[in-house]
Amino acid sequence: MTGQGPASADSREPDVAGIDTVLLDQLPESVAVCSADAVCLYVNPAMERAFGRSRLDQLGRVLWELYPDMLGATFQERFRRVAATGVAEEFECHVAQRERWFVKRLLRGHGRVYVFSREITAEKKQEATLRGLYDETRRAQRHAAFLAQASEVLASSLEQEQILQRMAHLAVPTLADGCCVDIPGPDGQVRRIAMACVRPDQVELTQAFHARYPLRMDDAGGIGRVLRVGVTEFVPELQPALLEQALAGDPERLQATLALGVKSYISVPLISRGRVLGALTLVNTDAVRRYTQADVRLAEDLARRAAASLDNGRLYMEAQDAVRARDTFLSVASHELNTPLTSLTLNVQALRRDLESRSAATPPEALGAKVVAVQRQLSRLSSLVRELLDVSRITAGRLRLEREELDLAALAREMVPRFSEDLSRAGCELRLDAPGPATGSWDRLRLEQVFQNLLSNAIKYGRGRPIELRVGADAERAWLVVRDEGVGIPPEGQARLFQRFERLASERHYGGLGLGLWIVKQIVDALEGRILVESAPGRGSTFTVELPRQKAR
């Protein structure tokens, strides 16, 4: 013993109520010695420190009256049992209000009950931290395994609905009791494209609920809002009281909502390249399981992967469409090239025959007509080939403009006679209204192409009806308008008109590669102008090209 220890022990009564306290005074654990009816006869210094009460304050009082929040009915029962039987008891005791844990031992000796109390709060807290870490690690492992599985599922197909259906099934029951995927539908509706539930009857119940109360994009909360705003909605606990409050005016709906049994949910947006493609919703109907932020993170991770895979699917479909369009184009192009080539071959053969059989001299007019036909077919062929060359040039980014000062009205007047033969063959009368001048800095050859395409379309699709060509200008812009009274273009076709390879009219009735308007648009764009169309089926079409007169700085 050190010099100080015994001095302090000696300063206390060595014997209180006949108890030898020398040893007890030294113990690090709290000790109270009580009579059989729990009156405190002695408490050691450790007990004074542990509970912050002086010895004098405690002596002579019933133990559980001193510590009512710590020594409840169970403790009192144990105390009486030990006092009566003398059989020692040891147990753990949690003081919830103070978040403290103790190990208590009750012993009987010489008609008294010894209450030993050792605090184990630190150990308990450490244990809880370790358990938390362990649970967290286990959850992270489970999540990682789930995501690996999900990635496999997501990469297993390029077909959108199939992917999402598989993903929903994967999420149940690992992550949720119910999982669904919704996408924005037409007219502000929400379309459900995948759903899986632990209980099969839950699928029907939910479907019936949404048939009666459909989800909408403008809903103030829930899936509609997630789709609209693109932000996760997490409800860790759906409070029935709040539901009752929100649906107070509609008891039937409240009843149906409660019957779904949703306890908590997470709804996350599927976003790709800034666009909300859909919403993934995980629903929990289990009263015990609670979603946490870790589940939200997992759902968001899953949603990111699903969105990327949806995007891949879409790109694949687009690539497929492009390949199909190219194949169609190749067959159209070969057909288009073949038609003038066949007539050309026949005409050249006929001419050759005429030249060889000099005996039966062919009249010069007949020869002349065949030569004109040959010229026409050659010019058709060269314009088709020019179009094809233009496409590859423009696509390769090689549309170079040779700007010069020119008058659009004069150019229109120059162009019209070049169409006189085509116009008369189609039975179209052309009205030109180009008083001019309409000058600007443009590319002559490219503008000739614009006239060429618009006028030949007007002749092709406006057969037998008048055509109007107008040119005008104000201080900033010049414009040309080509109007026909032909077949017209349906509204849904107008958006596709300027796309490459797009042909709306049937190829049996009208030839063409579907490239003319695309080329026109590329030229107009390069000149910083714009092209507009106004049309209705059977009511003709008006194409307007507007060009700034000077190049923007």
Contacting residues toward ligand ADP, per CB under 6 A: 453, 457-458, 461, 484, 486-489, 497, 502-505, 512-518, 541
Angle between helices 293-356 and 160-171 in degrees, nearest 10: 160
Residues forming beta bridges with residue 532, ordered by sequence position: 544
278 vs 486 by CB, closer to ligand ADP: 486
CA–CA distance, 42 with 26 (Å, rounded to integer): 14
Residue 463 beta carbon to ligand ADP: minimum distance, rounded to whole angstroms: 10
Residue 481 beta carbon to ligand ADP: minimum distance, rounded to whole angstroms: 12
CA–CA distance, 349 with 202 (Å, rounded to integer): 78
445's enclosing H/E stretch is helix 444-461
Residue 306 beta carbon to ligand ADP: minimum distance, rounded to whole angstroms: 38
**List of long-range contacts for 396-400, beta carbons under 8 Å, 24+ apart:** 399/522, 399/523, 399/526
352 vs 425 by CB, closer to ligand ADP: 425
Residue 436 beta carbon to ligand ADP: minimum distance, rounded to whole angstroms: 24
66 vs 505 by CB, closer to ligand ADP: 505
Residue 502 beta carbon to ligand ADP: minimum distance, rounded to whole angstroms: 6
C-beta nearest to ligand ADP: residue: 512
76 vs 328 by CB, closer to ligand ADP: 328
Q: Are 334 and 518 in contact (CB under 8 A)?
A: no
Estimate to the nearest angstrom the gap between the alpha carbon of 124 and the chain centroid.
45
Cα first-last separation, the chain: 98
84 vs 536 by CB, closer to ligand ADP: 536
Q: Are 280 and 268 in contact (CB under 8 A)?
A: yes
CA–CA distance, 448 with 413 (Å, rounded to integer): 11
| Tokens of residue 34, six digits | 């009580």
352 vs 386 by CB, closer to ligand ADP: 386
195 vs 489 by CB, closer to ligand ADP: 489
Quick check: helix, strand or coil at residue 154? helix
119 vs 468 by CB, closer to ligand ADP: 468
Residue 161 beta carbon to ligand ADP: minimum distance, rounded to whole angstroms: 33
Beta-carbon contacts of residue 86 (< 8 Å; ≥ 6 apart): 108
Question: What φ, ψ does residue 429 adopt, rounded to 5°?
Answer: -100, 135
CA–CA distance, 275 with 344 (Å, rounded to integer): 53
Concatenate the DSSP letters of all residues of 389-419 into one string: HHHHHHHTT-----EEEEEHHHHHHHHGGGG
Residue 535 beta carbon to ligand ADP: minimum distance, rounded to whole angstroms: 7
35 vs 456 by CB, closer to ligand ADP: 456
Residue 506 beta carbon to ligand ADP: minimum distance, rounded to whole angstroms: 9
**DSSP class of 527:** T
Residue 417 beta carbon to ligand ADP: minimum distance, rounded to whole angstroms: 21
Alpha carbons within 13 A on the beta-carbon side of 226: 25
Q: Are 251 and 243 in contact (CB under 8 A)?
A: no
Residue 166 beta carbon to ligand ADP: minimum distance, rounded to whole angstroms: 41
Residue 343 beta carbon to ligand ADP: minimum distance, rounded to whole angstroms: 19
353 vs 431 by CB, closer to ligand ADP: 431
CA–CA distance, 322 with 77 (Å, rounded to integer): 84
471 vs 515 by CB, closer to ligand ADP: 515
Closest CA to 224 of 215, 212, 214, 234: 215
Q: Are 60 and 66 in contact (CB under 8 A)?
A: no
